[in-house]
Amino acid sequence: METGWSAVDLAFRDEVRAFLDRELTPELRRAGRLMTSVYADHEASMAWQRILHGRGWAAPGWPVEYGGCDWSLTRHYIFSRESILAGAPSLSPMGIRMVAHAIIGYGTPAQKKFFLPRILTGEVFFCQGYSEPESGSDLAALSMAAVRDGDDLVLDGSKIWTTHAGEANWIFCLARTTRSDRKQHGITFLLVDMTTPGVTVRPLVMTSGEQVQNQVFFEQVRVPVGNVLGEIDDGWTVAKYLLVFERGSGAVAPALQVKATEIAEHASTQPGPGGRPLIEDPSFSARLADAQVRADVLEVLEYRALAVLQAGGNPGPASSMLKILGTELSQRISELALEAAGPQGRVYQPHATAPGGPVVDYTPPPDGHLSGQEWQAVAPLFYLNNRAGSIYAGSNEIQRNILAKAVLKL
């Protein structure tokens, strides 16, 4: 495996750096630097997506014919890492990085023509309707009903933990169209306009105080049959395909590597046991070094998965492995960040961060006072948000079951 960059790769890196230096405003850099979870401030995220779309870089992972980039794996990595280093805010993954791939893989020509260009511009902004109050991680146990009535399917039920449902104008969701002994059968994948009568969004407040998650209620919501993605009763096939992209086809390692490096820098100035810099504490430095090594290993595993995708294959159970490793390592790094922040990192100061949604029941100090530094204000929110990492996209226990069946044949 080549470990150095070629002259062509270095030229591309310089092109990316020049673009980021030119286009990232101080406001956008702040939104990226002070993110409290995997979701950036919504307005900043959409503003950055419009800029990327103007350059043709909003969805580099898509096939070229739909607006993607004909990049090598190295270029994908360079772009991801340089964007993180420059402090670019993340893009919402539900449209560009998730349902778009399902539309490309299973959509009709009309669906591709309508949705894909609008996802790129941000005119269509998707949220994901998978989990339900009684069937969170056991996705196939969902019960929201979709009953055929002429050219429509009529939806009744609810979805929960729906990120950015308040900002989205479309939702992709799974509904039960047929009941049978095999719960994976009889599920249909639907694209639903959020302005359809009968759709109601109820915000949920997270432990961080942010209002990012929601519960979405469907009461006699009529969805045209033309909005079915794939075949009626065979939505599980589409959902499994999409989950590959949600669980582990993206580049998570660069962000974790950057975060670990930042923690090392902060720990070199923060006092630890005995008043010496925290980085000199053997226990802390050993745990941080372990996290850095694991981030490097994760990077190699992500390369393997991306290589399979680039060759037109499906990473299969490797996506479950990456989901486990990535989320659990992110949790570990968030714990180290909170430890490095010290007492000042325990102060609740969301006004000094760039949260992924409105913060409720919080009044910032009139003078904007900040106890400590901005990174210390981010640490507790980053920690709280990361607790959900091992649950969303299918709990890590579910992922281990998948690996046990698919790899170990248990």
Q: How confident is the model at residue 244, as a pLDDT?
A: 67
Distance CA 139, CA 402 (A): 13
Q: What mean pLDDT do residues 297-302 have?
A: 90
Domain boundary among 91, 106, 138: 91
Q: Minimal CA–CA distance to 133: which of 215, 207, 190?
A: 215
Q: Domain range spanning residue 82?
A: 7-91
Regarding whether 179 and 290 lie in a shared domain, the answer is: no
Regarding whether 301 and 192 lie in a shared domain, the answer is: no
Regarding whether 256 and 225 lie in a shared domain, the answer is: no
Q: What mean pLDDT do residues 235-241 have?
A: 90
Q: Is the pLDDT of residue 305 over 70?
A: yes
Distance CA 176, CA 155 (A): 9
Q: How confident is the model at residue 1, as a pLDDT?
A: 41
Regarding whether 230 and 150 lie in a shared domain, the answer is: yes
Q: Is the pLDDT of residue 28 over 70?
A: yes
In the structure encoding, which two tokens stand for residue 286, read together? Answer: 């050993």
Domain boundary among 91, 112, 138: 91
Residue 393, Ramachandran bin (φ over 0: left; ψ between -120 and 50: alpha; else beta): left
> Is residue 11 in some structural domain?
yes
Query: What is the bridge-based pairing of β-strands 126-129 and 170-176?
Result: parallel
Binning pLDDT at 50, 70 and 90, where does residue 169 land? very high
Regarding whether 303 and 180 lie in a shared domain, the answer is: no
- Residue range 47-65, pLDDT digits in tens: 999 999 999 999 998 999 9
**Lowest mean per-residue pLDDT among 1-5, 12-16, 367-371, 394-398:** 1-5
Q: How confident is the model at residue 181, as a pLDDT?
A: 80
| Total domain count, the chain | 3
Domain boundary among 66, 91, 116: 91
CB contact set of 319 (below 8 Å; sequence gap of 6+): 243, 244, 245, 247, 248, 249, 305
Q: What mean pLDDT do residues 327-342 have?
A: 96
Label residue 158 exposed, middle or buried (CB < 10 Å: 0-12, 13-18, 19+). Answer: buried
Regarding whether 203 and 139 lie in a shared domain, the answer is: yes
Q: Is the pLDDT of residue 4 over 70?
A: no
Q: What mean pLDDT do residues 72-96 have?
A: 89
Q: Is the pLDDT of residue 191 over 90?
A: yes
Q: What percent of the chain has pLDDT over 90?
A: 71
Binning pLDDT at 50, 70 and 90, where does residue 204 land? very high
Regarding whether 402 and 256 lie in a shared domain, the answer is: yes
Regarding whether 354 and 275 lie in a shared domain, the answer is: yes
Regarding whether 175 and 139 lie in a shared domain, the answer is: yes
CATH number of the domain that residue 263 is part of: 1.20.140.10
Q: How confident is the model at residue 280, as a pLDDT?
A: 94
H-state helical runs in 268-389? 282-310, 318-341, 374-386
Regarding whether 221 and 296 lie in a shared domain, the answer is: no
> Is residue 21 in some structural domain?
yes
- Residue range 388-405, pLDDT digits in tens: 888 887 789 988 998 999
> Is residue 241 in some structural domain?
no
Q: How confident is the model at residue 110, as a pLDDT?
A: 97
CB contact set of 63 (below 8 Å; sequence gap of 6+): 104
CA atoms within 13 A on the CB side of 311: 9
Q: What percent of the chain has pLDDT over 70?
A: 96
- Residue range 245-288, pLDDT digits in tens: 665 445 788 889 989 999 999 999 988 888 899 999 999 999 99
CB contact set of 165 (below 8 Å; sequence gap of 6+): 127, 171, 194, 201, 214, 216
Q: What mean pLDDT do residues 132-144 have?
A: 82
Regarding whether 288 and 216 lie in a shared domain, the answer is: no
Binning pLDDT at 50, 70 and 90, where does residue 240 land? confident
**Phi, psi angle pair for 229, to nearest 5°:** -100, 120
> Is residue 81 in some structural domain?
yes
